[in-house]
Structure 1
Amino acid sequence: MKLLAGNSNRTLAGAIADYLDLPLTKAQVRRFADNEVFVTIDENVRGEDVFIIQSTSYPANDNLMELLICIDALKRASGKRITAVVPYFGYARQDRKTGGRTPISAKLVANLITRAGADRVLTMDLHAGQIQGFFDIPTDNLLPTPLLAADIRENYKKTDELMIVSPDVGGVVRARALAKRLDADLAIVDKRRSGPGQSEVMNIIGDVQGRRCILFDDIADSAGTLCNAAEALMANGAADVAAYVTHGVLSGAAYDRIGKSVLTELVVTDSIEQPEQSLDTCGKVRLVSCAPLIGEAIRRIANEESVSKLFD
C-alpha cells in the first residue's frame, strides 16, 4: 500500500500516515511559472494499492486539478488500484438544479475523478448522500458522528442536559443520528435563506429552555447560519450554545463572526486545514482530528474488510 499526499492538507495526510505507521510516498506536486500543476512520483508504484489524500477545499479548483493530475500520473505509472481520499468533497452543495440553466457541479466533479482513472473514492460526510450515486465506481462516505459524539461525551459530562439542534430542516437526519447516539433530545431551527450565505431564523421547533444546545451541521462556510441560530436559541432561553461541524470551510469574515457571536465554541474536524493565526486570534474554534477515522477506513479497504462496521 502507498499513501500519496497533495498540497491541500499536508498536516492531515501526515497524521493519517502516522496512524497507519506508513511513510508518505515521495512525490513532487508543484507549479510551473504560469501556475500549471506538475506531478512527479519519485517511487515505484507499479502494482501497488495507492491512496491519494487531497481535500478539494479552497482554492477548490487548484486542489481539484492536483487530485486529477495525481490520479493520471499514478494510472500511467501502473498503480494497481487508485483510491481518491477526499476528506472534504468540494462542489457538494451543487448537487441538483436549483433553477433554470444551472449546473449540477457535484456530478461533473464525480465524472472528472472517475474519468481521470480513480478506481475508488473515500470521502467524509457528503453534503447530500445521493452524491455517492453520482460516481460509477465504489464510493465510501464516512460518517463523523461517532468521532464527534465521543468528543461531546468527553467535554459535556451531563449529557441529559444536552439538546442537539439541527440548524435547518435539511440537516435533521444528521442531527437525529447524533442525538440518538448520545441519547439526547432534538430541536430544529426553521430558517429562510434569502440568498447565498444569507439566512434568517424564523422559529425554533422544540423546547430549549435551560438546555445546553449543540448545533450540528456538515459545513460552516460564512458561519452566518450558525451564529444566527445561536442567537435565536439564546433568545429562547438556552443555557449556552456550542456548534459541532464536520467541515470548517470558514471563508471570508467567518472567524471574526464566530469570535463576536454568542457561541461558546465551534468544533470542526481537520478535514480542511485551518490557518494557525486565525485559530489563535479567534479563540473559539477547536479542531478534532479525523485522521484515526480515515486511517482506519484506508486500512480496511486495503485489507478488503468492512468499512460500515466502523459505525456500528
Structure 2
Amino acid sequence: MERPKKQVLLFYCVEAEDLARKVAAQSDYIKLQTIKWRSFDDGFPNLFIEKAHAIRGQHVAFLASFSSTAVIFEQLSVIYALPMLFVASFTVVLPFFPTGSFERIEEEGDVATAFTLARMLSNTPISRGGPTSLVVYDIHALQERFYFSDTVLPLFETGIPLLQQRLQLLKSDKVIVAFPDDGAWKRFHKLLDNFPMVICNKVREGDKRIVRIKEGEPAGCHVVIVDDLVQSGGTLIECQKVLAAHGAKKVSAYVTHGVFPKKSWERFVHKSKEEHENAFTHFWITDSCPATVSAIANIAPFEVLSLAASIADALQI
C-alpha cells in the first residue's frame, strides 16, 4: 500500500528560484511560497515571510544556496524563523555544502569551517514535528555527517543516479569510469560497480603533483571521470591528459557540484576544432550551484543534470 503524499510548502532563496520551480513542477503536492528579500540602507537583511499564518500546521521546506558568505546570514535568518511559525515539519535542502572541503585541521591554527557551518545549521529550532531534516548531496567528506548535532536529521543523497541515466544513452561507446584519486573511488565505486573502472592517483614530484594511473586500462574506451566537486579543474585536466596518453578514445567528466570559482569553467570550453578533439567530450554537472548553471548554459561541453526530481522525492520522506 502506497503511503499518502504530503503537501509541502516550498520556500527558496533568490539564487535557487529556477531550481525551486523545477522541483515544484515535479509534483502537485509541492507549492511554492514567497519571501521578500529586502535590505535596509546599511545593507543588512530586511526579510518578510509571506502569508506566515497560512503555513501553521503545514509541512514546510526551504531550498538554500550558500554560494557566498554574503548570502548565508540572510538565509540562516529565514531557516531559523520558519520552524517557529508552528509548522508541522521543516526540511532544509542545501544541495551543495560549500565548506565541505575544509574539514581537516592539519596544524594548530587551522579552522575547520565545515564544522562551523554544521553547528550553525544544527542550531535550527525544532518545529512542532520534531528536528529539522537537512538534505545534502554528495557531501565532500563522509565523516562530516557526524558534525551535525542531534537537533537536525541529515539526509545524505547523491547525484550519481542522474549520471547512470545519462550514461545509458551512450550505447555506441564502451564506457568505463575513472576516479581521480582513492577518495573518489571510496565514495562512488559501489554506486557504479556495473562499469569497468580506472583508478588514478596524484604523486608529488618536486613542486608538481603528477596524476598517474594506479589501476585499470582505458585504451579504446570512452572514459568518464567521476568526482564530487570541481574547483579550478586542474586535477581533471591532468587526468584527461594521462587517460588520453594511455589510449582513451574519449574522455568525459561528471561532478555533482560545479563550483568553478573565478570562471575556471572557461578552461573546459571548446574554443576551436583542435581543442574539441583533445578536450572533454562531455562535462556533466548538476544544478546544485545555480550561479554556475547560469554561466555555462548551452556552452559545450557542459550539460546540466537536474536534481529537481530527486529533491521532490526527498521532500516526501
TM range (shorter): 0.7 to 0.9
TM-score calculated relative to the size of structure 2: 0.85
Q: Structure 2 residue aligned with 1:31, among 33, 39, 43?
A: 39
Q: CA deviation at 1:123?
A: 1.1
Asked which structure has the greater CA Rg, the reply is 2
Give the Cα separation in 2 of the matches to 1:173 and 1:39.
42
Query: Counterpart of 2:3?
Result: none
Partner of 2:283: 266
Aligned residue number for residue 116 of structure 2: 108
SS of the residue 1:101 aligns to: coil
Matched, 1:285 2:302: yes
Return the offset for 1:220: 1.0
CA distance in 1, matches of 2:192, 2:133: 31
Answer whether contact 1:190 1:205 (CA < 8 A) is retained.
no
CA contact (8 A) 1:94 1:104 kept: yes
- Aligned partner letter, 1:174: R
Residues of 1 paired with 2:62 and 2:80: CA distance? 11
Match of 2:12 among 5, 15, 31: 5
Q: Of residues 24, 48, 51 in structure 2, which corresponds to 1:17? A: 24
Q: Report matched runs for 1:249-264 at 5 Å.
A: 249-259=259-269, 262-264=279-281
Q: 2:168 aligns with which of 153, 164, 187?
A: 153
Deviates more, 1:234-243 or 1:4-13: 4-13
- Return the letter of the residue paired with 2:224: I
CA distance in 2, matches of 1:62, 1:117: 22
Contact 1:6 1:66 in 2 (8 A): no
Conserved 8 A contact 1:163-1:208:
yes
* Corresponding residue to 1:142 among 141, 157, 162: 157
Which has more helix, going by share of residues? Answer: 1
Counterpart in the other structure of 1:171:
184
- Whether contact under 8 Å (1:121, 1:138) holds in the other structure is yes
- Quote how far apart the aligned CAs of 1:204 are: 4.4
Query: For the aligned residues, what is the CA RMSD?
Result: 2.1
1:199, distance to aligned residue in structure 2 (A): 4.9
**CA positional deviation for 1:132:** 1.4
TM-score by length of 1: 0.86
2:5 aligned residue: none
Are the aligned partners of 2:293 and 2:304 in contact in 1 as well (CA < 8 Å)? no
What is the SS of the residue equivalent to 1:174? helix
Which residue of 190, 208, 216 maps to 2:201?
190
CA deviations on 1:27-66 (whole Å, 9 max, x unpaired) are 2123333332232111122222211101222x2x123223
Partner of 2:200, secondary structure, is: strand
- Percent identity among equivalent residues? 26
Instruction: List aligned pairs for 1:73-88, cutoff 5 A.
Output: 73-88=81-96
Aligned with 2:269: secondary structure?
helix
Q: In 2 relative to 1, CA 27–232 (structure 1 residues): closer, same or farther, beyond 3 Å?
A: same
Distance in structure 1 (CA, Å) of the matches to 2:259 and 2:241: 21
Task: Give the total of aligned pairs.
Answer: 290
Gaps of 5+ in 1: 302-312
Q: Which amino acid aligns with 1:6?
A: C
Please tell me whether the aligned partners of residues 84 and 125 of structure 2 are also in contact (alpha carbons under 8 angstroms): no
| Distance in 2 of aligned mates of 1:18 and 1:219 | 27
Cα separation, 2, equivalents of 1:193 and 1:95:
22
Q: Could you say what secondary structure the match of 1:2 adopts?
A: strand
Mapped partners of 2:210, 2:168: distance in 1: 31
Distance 1:46 1:255 in 2: 43
Query: How far has the Cα of 1:249 moved from its partner?
Result: 0.6
Q: What SS does the corresponding residue of 1:23 show, helix, strand or coil?
A: strand
Alignment check: 8 A CA contact 2:198 2:213 kept: no
Distance 1:55 1:27 in 2: 15
Aligned to 1:307: none
For the residue of structure 2 that corresponds to 1:146, the secondary structure is helix
Deviation at residue 206 of structure 1 after TM alignment: 1.7
Seen in structure 2, the aligned counterparts of structure 1 residues 75 and 297 have a Cα distance that, compared at 3 Å, is closer
Q: Any conservation in 2 of the 1:92–1:127 contact (CA below 8 Å)? A: yes
Offset, 1:225: 1.2
Q: Is the 8 A contact 1:8 1:63 kept in 2?
A: no
Distance apart, 1:14 and its partner CA: 1.0
Deviations 1:233-282 (A, max 9, x none): 101111110001101111224222112562112100111113545434x4
Alignment of 1:221 onto 2:231: yes
SS of the counterpart of 1:68?
helix
